[in-house]
A and B are shown apart, each in its own frame.
Chain A
């Protein structure tokens, strides 16, 4: 049944959806991945649009296969609800909610993986590790702050952006050039890996009472291990190889 005015979502609904987004993957499953979680997240919004009884066709279309990066899901949810609100008053947008979801979930997943898992997280971890190498218990706190400030902001702003800008939210995201940002973050991480390795090599030489120039020996070894990891050799194997070599050396000399 169509209505005359576009139903509005109040701030409490947005807050509920924001909090529910933290439970998006609670029932992650191999069959339809985040489908149940996505419906759970947008349910307060659907209730504002359709009332307590959400129509069967709406329930059906939002229980389909869904998988995106968890931090980008709020952005998808915001736009989806705006499209649902539009369809409630008979609007016919260029794409419907179901098509929109299936269209954006994979690109947003790739973007989120590169930005958060491949960019922000390693950078925050490296900064945390450099602090931890001084024996400071601030390391985990700094790590959590660096990671979560963009994370929590992104979840909240994504929801609002998606709802307010509808399909134009995609253009806004494109303008942010997030893949470029991810590359810059990865480059920064690579530099910090170099700093950390040099620092540990220097400390190792100090401990063994060797001149610091011996620290350069570590460089080709790290590069060799990096190449092996790149070729798919597992971390576990590399740990076992290193440990057994060092223990053997310790026993022999």
Chain B
């Protein structure tokens, strides 16, 4: 990976991070999109897609309501893709084991995203006061500037989260890959499917639907029977 690739990944980190709350919200921030997008920038969109699949459902049920800040799955997807597509081959790994290891390292580091996001919103508290004062004194242009400056704090928070995941993640990857890789290769596909199943279970548990369990069980049993008997 060359410097331009890292720069591109950084830009995607900021762009997708802004999409979470501050800008547009067309959902390019979802891991299913952010992963392949980062992978595409680094020349390997399929790695990003695999990472996006593993992460998509994990926090999908956590709604960004009011002042609640869900874990930053966007930067987890971006960071894990950078680790898998850019850094992993330095430790002699590739394929699904590297994808799994990158995701497992990036998930806990996503907690930093909540800290940086909270910080950005506190910075915005000050911007909101400045904007209010400017507007009340008749300076509408300054109010608009204060509002748009909020994008900078959210963008920086996203970039900082991605940087922590990539830097700390690289260190962990180099330190623990030799120890863990054997077991991860053994667990392989089971681990990959299990992570998606955990996400599905979490979504099922956090979606409040009457008859939800009956609907889920019927769909599960019906589909498995069709696949088994066809």
Are B220 and A113 interface neighbours, CB within 8 A? no
Q: A39-B135, A137-B49, A148-B26 are in contact. Are A230 and B198 (CB under 8 A)?
A: no
- Is A9 part of the binding interface, using a Cβ–Cβ cutoff of 8 Å? no
B8 within 8 A of A: no
Contact B45–A29 (Cβ < 8 Å) = no
In the bound complex, residues from chain B placing their C-beta under 8 Å from that of A143 are 27, 30, 32-33
Contacts of A249 in B (CB 8 A): 187
Interface residues of B in 76-132 (CB under 8 A from A): 104, 107-108, 111, 121-122, 124-125, 127-129, 131-132
Interface residue tally for chain B (C-beta within 8 Å): 97
The 0/1 profile, CB within 8 Å of A marked 1, for residues 26-62 of chain B is 1110101100110000000110010011001111110
Q: Which B residues are CB-close (under 8 A) to A194?
A: 215-220, 222-223
- Asked if B197 contacts A197 (CB within 8 A), the reply is yes
The complex places the Cα of A224 from the Cα of B200 at a distance, in Å, of 12
Contact B183 A63 (CB under 8 A): no
Q: Residue A170 at the B interface, CB < 8 A?
A: no
Whole-angstrom CA separation of A200 from B191 in the bound complex = 11
Decide if B219 touches A27 in the complex (CB within 8 Å): no
> How far does the alpha carbon of A52 sit from the alpha carbon of B14 in the complex, in Å?
34
Q: Is the CB of B52 within 8 A of A137?
A: no
Would you give the 0/1 interface string for A209-244, flagging 1 where the beta carbon is closer than 8 Å to chain B? 000110110110111111111100001101110110
A228 near B205 (CB under 8 angstroms)? yes
B204: A residues at CB distance < 8 A: 190, 193, 222, 226, 229
Contact B128–A29 (Cβ < 8 Å):
yes
* A117–B60 alpha-carbon span in the complex (Å): 8
The residues of B that contact A226 with a CB separation of less than 8 Å are 201-202, 204-205, 216
Q: Which residues of A contact B56 (CB under 8 A)?
A: 125, 128-129
- Tell me if B's interface is mostly helix, strand, loop or mixed: helix
- Closest-CB distance, A25 to chain B (whole angstroms): 5
Question: Is A121 in contact with B46, judged by CB distance below 8 angstroms?
Answer: no
Please report whether the interface of chain A is mostly helix, strand, loop or mixed according to DSSP.
Answer: helix
Tell me how far the C-beta of B203 lies from the nearest C-beta in chain A, rounded to whole angstroms. Answer: 6
Residue interface mask A123-140, B partner, CB < 8 A = 1: 011001100110101011
Interface size bracket, A side = 35 or more
Interface status of B3 (Cβ within 8 A of chain A): no
Residues from chain A with a CB closer than 8 A to the CB of B199 are 235
Please report the C-alpha to C-alpha distance between residue A116 and residue B167 in the assembled complex, in whole angstroms. 35
Cβ contacts under 8 Å, A67 to chain B: 66
- Residue numbers in B under 8 Å from A246 (CB-CB): 187, 190-191, 194
Q: Give complex CA distance A251, B181 in Å.
A: 11
Q: Is there an interface contact between B128 and A218, defined as CB atoms closer than 8 Å?
A: no
- Among A75-83, A87-95, A158-166, A181-189, the stretch that binds chain B is A181-189
A225–B151 alpha-carbon span in the complex (Å)? 37
Inter-chain contact A133/B53, CB cutoff 8 Å: yes
CB neighbours of A203 from chain B (8 A): 193
- Shortest Cβ distance from B150 into A: residue: A27
CB distance from A45 to the nearest CB of B (A): 14
Asked if B168 is at the interface of the complex by the 8 Å CB criterion, the answer is no
B32 x A129 contact (CB < 8 A): yes
Residues of A contacting B172 in the complex (Cβ-Cβ under 8 angstroms): none
A239 to B199, CA, bound (A): 9
User: Which of B64, B182, B184, B209 is the one whose CB lies under 8 Å from A186?
Assistant: B209
Q: Are A223 and B213 closer than 8 Å at their CB atoms?
A: yes
Question: A-side interface residues toward B, CB under 8 Å?
Answer: 22-23, 25-33, 35-37, 39-40, 43, 53-54, 56, 59-60, 63, 67, 70-71, 109, 113, 117-118, 121-122, 124-125, 128-129, 132-133, 135, 137, 139-140, 143-144, 147-148, 151-152, 183, 186-187, 189-204, 207-208, 212-213, 215-216, 218-219, 221-230, 235-236, 238-240, 242-243, 246-247, 249-251
> Can you offer 12 A-B residue contacts whose CB atoms are under 8 A?
A26-B22, A26-B150, A29-B150, A32-B128, A36-B131, A125-B32, A143-B30, A190-B207, A197-B200, A212-B224, A228-B205, A247-B183
Q: Which residues of B contact A (CB under 8 A)?
A: 21-28, 30, 32-33, 36-37, 45-46, 49, 52-53, 56-61, 63-67, 71, 104, 107-108, 111, 121-122, 124-125, 127-129, 131-132, 135-136, 138, 140, 143-144, 146-151, 154, 180, 182-184, 186-187, 189-191, 193-209, 211-213, 215-224, 227-228
